Amino acid sequence: METGEYVRTSAPLVVTFSAGTTGAWRVDRIDAVRGAGLMAADRLAVLEGAVSVSADAVWLLRGVVSNSRYTTRAENEALEARQPALGRPDATRAALIPIRKVDEWWSLAQDERRTIFEERSRHIRTGLGYLPAVARRLYHSRDLGEPFDFLTWFEYPPDHSGAFEELVGRLRGTEEWSYVEREVDIRLTRVLPAIQAT
């Protein structure tokens, strides 16, 4: 059996977040913000690419680093000019915030979602104000049949914890967030050095 070509040059990077007893990140707390939460665990491992699953995993969430869906060229350039890489040695705090939006959101047209996302909720503009302190990466999960639509990941030095709380609070108050039906907030502290700065 074949699919014509065995290696694709630039397939989206798939990442598995594996909660259990191993991993570079210590789980400080898991809060159910809206809807069902996730089970408690001691550690979180962030596994890039095809991975074999640890037998001790309490839960697994998967997502892909895919193309942007809303940002314009000008916004992309503003983001790229300011956003730092993941894995900075001083960015020892992190948050993994899986989010699922209601069906109504997904049945909106592209222009309607963009209008709510940026013109009315200022998602991109707000996030820009917290760069470069808070590094972020978005993982897409919906097309993978996962329980969440997105896995949002943030990394920041401990002295920017206040700024991060402010960013999260501002986003949760937007019109966009009225479409969120499930959200879990997982806070983490790095206890093993970053293997890979990506």
Using CB under 8 A as the criterion, which residues of the chain lie in contact with its own copies when the complex forms?
1-5, 8-12, 14, 35-39, 57-61, 64, 66-73, 75-76, 100, 103, 106-112, 114, 140, 142-147, 182, 184
Shortest distance, position 16 Cβ to its own copies, whole Å? 12
Shortest distance, position 163 Cβ to its own copies, whole Å? 27
Shortest distance, position 97 Cβ to its own copies, whole Å? 14
Shortest distance, position 22 Cβ to its own copies, whole Å? 14
Of 16 and 93, CB closest to its own copies? 16
CB of 82 within 8 A of CB of 124?
A: no
Of 10 and 52, CB closest to its own copies? 10
Of 9 and 52, CB closest to its own copies? 9
Of 88 and 142, CB closest to its own copies? 142
Q: DSSP labels for the chain?
A: ---S-S--TTPPEEEEEEEES-SSEEEEEEEEEES------SEEEEEESS-PPPTT-SEEEEEEE---SS--HHHHHHHHHHPPPTT-TT--EEEEEEEEE-HHHHHS-HHHHHIIIIIIT-HHHHHHTTTTTSEEEEEE-GGGT-SSSEEEEEEE-GGGHHHHHHHHHHHHTSTGGGGEEEEEEEEEEE-S--S---
Of 61 and 135, CB closest to its own copies? 61
Shortest distance, position 165 Cβ to its own copies, whole Å? 24
